[in-house]
Amino acid sequence: MGFRAITAQLVLRTPLHVGTGRATETVDDLLRRDAQGRILIPGTSLAGPLRAIATRLAPRLGSRSCQALQGGDFGSQICGCLTCRLFGDVTPQEDEKKGVASQVIIYDAPLDKNPEIAIRDGVGIDRVTGAAARKERLKFDLEVVPAGTIFSLRMEFDPNLTDERALQLLAVSLAEWEAGRGAVGGRVGRGLGAFTLQNIQYRDQKLDTIEAVVDFLKIGPGWTKQTGAGDWLATQSAATRKQAQLLSPVGDHSVACSWALTEFTLAAEGSFLINDPVRAGQGGFDHAPLLTAYERKGEPVLPGSSLRGVLRSQAERIARTLATHDAWGDNKRSSEERKREFSTSCPACNPLTTHTSTTHTSDAVASCNSFIKTLAPEKRRELEDRGAEDKLCLACRLFGSTWNGSRLRVEDAPLLPNTGKQKVMDFLAIDRFTGGGRDGAKFDAVALWQPHFRVRLFLENPEGWELGWLVLTLRDLHEGLTTVGFGAAKGFGRMTIQSPSITFGILHETDFPLPPAPEDESEDRQKLERAIVAREKLLTHRGTPSGLYQTIGYADSHKADWLDLADGWVQAFHRERRARPRAQEFTLQKDSYFTKIADQWLPDLYPVEVSA
């Protein structure tokens, strides 16, 4: 008989929202609280993400894949995979003896101290018009716990849990949290709920003597005393890592293979404006920067959702421009042919378009979601059950849609110290008739002067084409082809990327994203071959392991190899966007460029390339 527990501190890196699902007059969704009104993270909200990590890692430890991943109805069949043995069976069993209850209990995590609550205002910006897309219901208010807040985590094991492999799985799953790759609560893809687990203590208290039991009853359980083992996680992870290296990947996104993490400083060249309507209202300004409270002092932050929107719209622009060039072809093609080519191959939709009937969409580059709405009910149900991933455009697959989550996480980027002085700016709307300042049209704002934000982008199981597309997108951002925040027309929001770091985590050599082998003549054979050689070379320079993963990090000394590899990923992106024609029922019905205006083809007036 004994008592075993793990205690740790959960430190928020970005604001957290664990909602009640109930709205009030002032905010849409409130934080979860206990009976006394104290904020907490419910144990179930922690157990879910931890189980998800374990489910993805277990196949790499030799367990068979959990039946929960295969979808469908398994009736009374018991899974019995390593994850189910640890966290209990998913489906409640009629025969109680057969099913396994969870061997690990995760308690509600209370707050260390009462934080300042922030209200997050998320406004969806229509990328075509730049206006807030209110009619799209994209505005939401959230009550969030600010970054820097600490919660106390505690979990206990069943005394009968002796399965060494189940304990190893628990350890490597917790190691993901320790390495800062965890997220909890709502809207994690938009940058909320990222955290790091610290001060992890493993406590094992034997209750095999009367004295020990009396002691336990008198002083209370072991977590109140500082007697835990701080190295348990590292020891278990190291032992488990040796086993994982021998397994080859299964090659599907439900199984953990790899991750890519890049961190860089996004430096504004001049003024920078991100709006926080709440704070602007309080201060009487029309525009004020979004703040988050760190230790009760407000610091501006670049919201992950804003940066994500910027990256997505630039990525869409790149993909559509390239598709337009491809559709143009040689000068023998007719406008009709070009339109057909673009309509069947456009790799990136505009996710904000919604106009649809039961039979057709009526927007240019209509969203994948609006196409799905035109499908027959039984087809839609099929997509609901089995996922719509293979129907979606490349942008929806990378950045997510209402039909799939995103493997890309863009966190809130904190402001670096001593950058971004706040200054009030006046903008006068000039009356175009009289030339004088129009009454009531004066507009003021608090802008940040040359702020530097530290950005963190994390991509789970990256594919070569996704990395290539992100490389092109970030390069455009660095070169000023796209801006962040408001006021692009006034020259605001031009950014450069500084001090970047890139780290890959892999479980096996074959998990390191591979550029495709050259196939046909249209591809740049030399680039692809160089990339494959560079990848082999980089694999020989491993960094310090992280949890179950081996790491490979960017270093200036191998810059040439990294550039070659990135070139290969860009080629992979070109292949992917060409290789995937749109599903027939997703053929674009309208486009804003390949179209006729007053019986005249627009491309005839504005050709893609003017040939000699």
Angle in degrees, CA 328, 332, 337, rounded to 5? 55
Of 393, 506, 565, 588, the one binding Zn ion (CB under 5 A) is 393
Comparing CB distances to Zn ion, the nearer of 392 and 572 is 392
Which range in 226-234, 252-260, 282-290, 391-399 contacts Zn ion by CB under 5 A? 391-399
Q: How far is CA 458 from CA 185, 236, 255, 416, 483, in A?
A: 17, 25, 17, 20, 21
Q: DSSP alpha helices (H): ranges in 39-100?
A: 43-57, 67-70, 82-87
DSSP reduced 3-state for 406: coil
Shortest approach of Zn ion to residue 312 CB, angstroms?
10
Shortest approach of Zn ion to residue 225 CB, angstroms?
36
Comparing CB distances to Zn ion, the nearer of 14 and 350 is 350
How far apart CA 170 and CA 364 sit, in angstroms, is 49
Which range in 150-158, 238-246, 335-343, 363-371 contacts Zn ion by CB under 5 A? 363-371
The torsion angles phi and psi of 133, rounded to 5 degrees, stand at -90, 65
Q: What is the H or E stretch that residue 9 is in?
A: strand 2-12
* Contact call for residues 67 and 74 (beta carbons, < 8 A): yes
Q: What are the residues whose beta carbons fall under 8 Å from the beta carbon of 481, sequence distance 6 or more? A: 314
Comparing CB distances to Zn ion, the nearer of 562 and 586 is 586
Q: What are the residues whose beta carbons fall under 8 Å from the beta carbon of 534, sequence distance 6 or more? A: 560, 561, 562, 564, 565, 568
Shortest approach of Zn ion to residue 324 CB, angstroms?
17
Report the sign of the C-alpha dihedral through residues 28, 33, 37, 38, in that order: negative
Shortest approach of Zn ion to residue 586 CB, angstroms?
9
Comparing CB distances to Zn ion, the nearer of 8 and 166 is 166
Which range in 209-217, 281-289, 343-351, 546-554 contacts Zn ion by CB under 5 A? 343-351
* Contact call for residues 343 and 371 (beta carbons, < 8 A): no
| Site residues (CB under 5 A) for Zn ion, limited to 41-80 | 66, 79
* Contact call for residues 508 and 514 (beta carbons, < 8 A): no
Comparing CB distances to Zn ion, the nearer of 347 and 513 is 347
Which range in 35-43, 84-92, 274-282, 493-501 contacts Zn ion by CB under 5 A? 84-92
* Contact call for residues 608 and 328 (beta carbons, < 8 A): yes
Does 81 interact with Zn ion (rule: CB under 5 A)? yes
Shortest approach of Zn ion to residue 395 CB, angstroms?
5
Shortest approach of Zn ion to residue 593 CB, angstroms?
18
Distance of CA 492 to the CA centre of its chain: 26
How far apart CA 132 and CA 598 sit, in angstroms, is 31
Shortest approach of Zn ion to residue 399 CB, angstroms?
9
Which range in 364-372, 374-382, 452-460, 490-498 contacts Zn ion by CB under 5 A? 364-372
Which range in 3-11, 113-121, 361-369, 538-546 contacts Zn ion by CB under 5 A? 361-369
Smallest CA-to-CA distance from 262 within 410, 67, 476, 81 is with 410
Shortest approach of Zn ion to residue 144 CB, angstroms?
28
Comparing CB distances to Zn ion, the nearer of 291 and 366 is 366
* Contact call for residues 496 and 267 (beta carbons, < 8 A): yes
Taking CB under 5 A as the rule, which mask of x and - marks residues 454-493 in contact with Zn ion? ----------------------------------------
How far apart CA 88 and CA 108 sit, in angstroms, is 18
Shortest approach of Zn ion to residue 47 CB, angstroms?
15
Shortest approach of Zn ion to residue 482 CB, angstroms?
19
Comparing CB distances to Zn ion, the nearer of 91 and 510 is 91
Which range in 219-227, 229-237, 386-394, 556-564 contacts Zn ion by CB under 5 A? 386-394
Shortest approach of Zn ion to residue 168 CB, angstroms?
16
Comparing CB distances to Zn ion, the nearer of 396 and 472 is 396
Q: How far is CA 240 from CA 292, 381, 542, in A?
A: 39, 41, 18
Of 166, 255, 273, 396, the one binding Zn ion (CB under 5 A) is 396
Beta bridge partners of 182: 195
Total length of the chain? 612
Shortest approach of Zn ion to residue 584 CB, angstroms?
16
Comparing CB distances to Zn ion, the nearer of 254 and 265 is 254
How far apart CA 303 and CA 102 sit, in angstroms, is 37
| Site residues (CB under 5 A) for Zn ion, limited to 575-594 | none
Smallest CA-to-CA distance from 204 within 181, 221, 183, 186 is with 221
Shortest approach of Zn ion to residue 211 CB, angstroms?
41
Number of residues located near Zn ion, criterion CB under 5 A: 8
Comparing CB distances to Zn ion, the nearer of 201 and 313 is 313
How far apart CA 106 and CA 117 sit, in angstroms, is 25
Shortest approach of Zn ion to residue 394 CB, angstroms?
8
Which range in 42-50, 57-65, 82-90, 167-175 contacts Zn ion by CB under 5 A? 82-90
Comparing CB distances to Zn ion, the nearer of 279 and 320 is 320
* Contact call for residues 12 and 147 (beta carbons, < 8 A): yes
- Per DSSP, which regions of 248-317 are E strands? 258-268, 271-272, 291-294, 297-302
DSSP assigned state of 599:
T
Comparing CB distances to Zn ion, the nearer of 109 and 396 is 396
Burial pattern 120-148, b for ≥16 Cβ within 10 A else e, equals: bbbebbbbeeeeebeeeeeebbbbbbbbb
Comparing CB distances to Zn ion, the nearer of 203 and 312 is 312
Comparing CB distances to Zn ion, the nearer of 150 and 383 is 383
Burial class (CB in 10 A: 0-12, 13-18, 19+), 449: middle
Comparing CB distances to Zn ion, the nearer of 5 and 348 is 348
Q: DSSP alpha helices (H): ranges in 333-375?
A: 335-345, 368-373
Shortest approach of Zn ion to residue 443 CB, angstroms?
35
Which range in 283-291, 396-404, 449-457, 520-528 contacts Zn ion by CB under 5 A? 396-404
Binding site for Zn ion (CB under 5 A): 66, 79, 81, 84, 349, 368, 393, 396
